[in-house]
Structure 1
Amino acid sequence: MSLRRRSIDPPDPQRAAAAVRTLAVLLQAGARPLTAWRHLADTGDPAAVRIVARMDGGSEPTGAIEAEGGAWSDVAAAWEIATTVGAPLAEVLRTLAESLQDAASAADDVRIALAEPTGTARLLLWLPLAGLLLGFALGFDIVGVLTGNPIGIVCVVLGVGLVLLARWWTARMVRAAQPDAATPGMHAELVAVALAGGVGIPRALRLVEHSPAALPDARSSTDAVLELSRSAGVPAGELLRASAAQQRHESRVQGRVRAARLSSTLLLPLGVCTLPAFLLLGVAPLMLSVLATTPLPI
């Protein structure tokens, strides 16, 4: 399995955050939602252009936004909840833009931390091929040894198998260390949006339950914050936003820890697969070539 980046990347959260911030300013200035989207599309924002095209095609704003995927699913969820409960849309989008920016910065920090171990893994996967090229450069009959000698054939089969296993194993480790695509703390953010519209906590939770942007396993942390708000007698909105910020911070720390661990765990496929493959495809053919060209003593 290849470690190359996919040709189609998910929507850029940084760009989404900037677009949402611009929308908030336009709405704050008195523009109607569709007009604000058109102004944003006129600036050349590709997501806004596609969203406006869907709206012109008859799609509801929420569906048109959610179709972009990625961070725009969070925007769609906040938009729908804010319009349902009557929360101030401009203020909701301004707060959401800050959350998306913070989450995107955390994800970028993790990707930067992963760049070095991932690049090292890509480089080491070429080690067996380097062994073969070395044999060719030294003038040995590598092809003849690997295809005409039974031991050479076994080396090829085992070596290629180990290379493929190393690529799969390494790619799996790198994927496991990647930051989660979902925005941390979005469940708490959406509940805060619903409460900003003046609805009660039970209805706010029901609205968020049906939102695709909120992770189900985040409900427990939100419930804990709401219980603290009730027992302390303080407004839940600020506590929920503080909890969301803390979840994003924890996600950043955990991502850096995963990146640090990846640097050491990548030694496993290196030692188990890549180095033996180098011996089978690089060193063994050289030795077989030397033995094949060395005359036996009489």
Structure 2
Amino acid sequence: AQAGNYLRPTTLSGLLQARAAHPQAQVVAGTTDVGLWINKMHKRFAQVLDVTAAQELKRVETYPHHIAIGAAVSLHQAYAALVSERPPLKTFAQRFAGLPVRNSGTLGGNVANGSPIGDSMPLLIALDASVVLMRWDAKRKQITHRELRLEDLYTGYRTNVMKPDELLCWIKVPRPAETEFLRVYKISKRFDDDISAVCLAIRMTLADGKVGTISIGAGGVAATPVRARQTEATLRGQVWSADTVMAAVAALRAEFQPISDMRASAAYRQTVLGNLLQRFWLESQGLQAINLESVSMEALA
């Protein structure tokens, strides 16, 4: 964008008014993705709307039943907030890109971008997160909003339900239950700083040995980040046993029809989905040394 076409409002109302006036402007935050469009694909934008100066969106707010992460909060800060609520996420958070990207990119940008292989969305889907979309109502001269479950944001490959004058402003994440068991698995060719072939997040609570709450988010297996609703239905209310898990493994492998690409074949992705659910079962039984990164050199000595 040329000088004068770069908009960076410092308040939420100013940001939404700018969006209403310039619905075709390219929205940016950390530009970890848009920046590549410019220097690799040589794209140019007539106008750019930067959300990172809106003070209201640079906060993480804690409430009795949820935390609210502003769209301008960096990935580093956002994941720090998530890890403080759910310590098992620490290793997964450290595998999200590299430190420079985590410091400049935002969770709001990652979610709004909607890449099917983005790592944040499967996790947030499993956590039953919702997004708050806001717009400026010129007639009433006030901000209006609507809230929807994160998995309902997407309509197709990198497309979503947001109207031209709407912005994704907040991500709301329910606080954890005391009995919650949560795991997130990222499968990539390289362990560190690589793009996922498959990402699977599973959150479960048990009641009297039966599956109570169950939420499963998946990435890399469809055109959008998705929720494994059929697999959840297979598990919900069932005795948490090896037989139940194997039935769910079959359901999970059948639920999605992934594509083959440079990162993995469709058959590999389907196989890995089921394998990760089996791993979740083993870890829920207290087994730890079930993959290479969980085996210490001392244990092998």
Please tell me the TM-score bracket, short chain as reference. Answer: under 0.3
For normalisation by structure 2, the TM-score amounts to 0.23
Considering fraction of residues, name the structure with more helix. Answer: 1
Query: Larger C-alpha radius of gyration, 1 or 2?
Result: 1
Select the structure with the greater relative contact order (CA < 8 A; seq sep ≥ 6): 1
Considering fraction of residues, name the structure with more strand. Answer: 2
For normalisation by structure 1, the TM-score amounts to 0.23
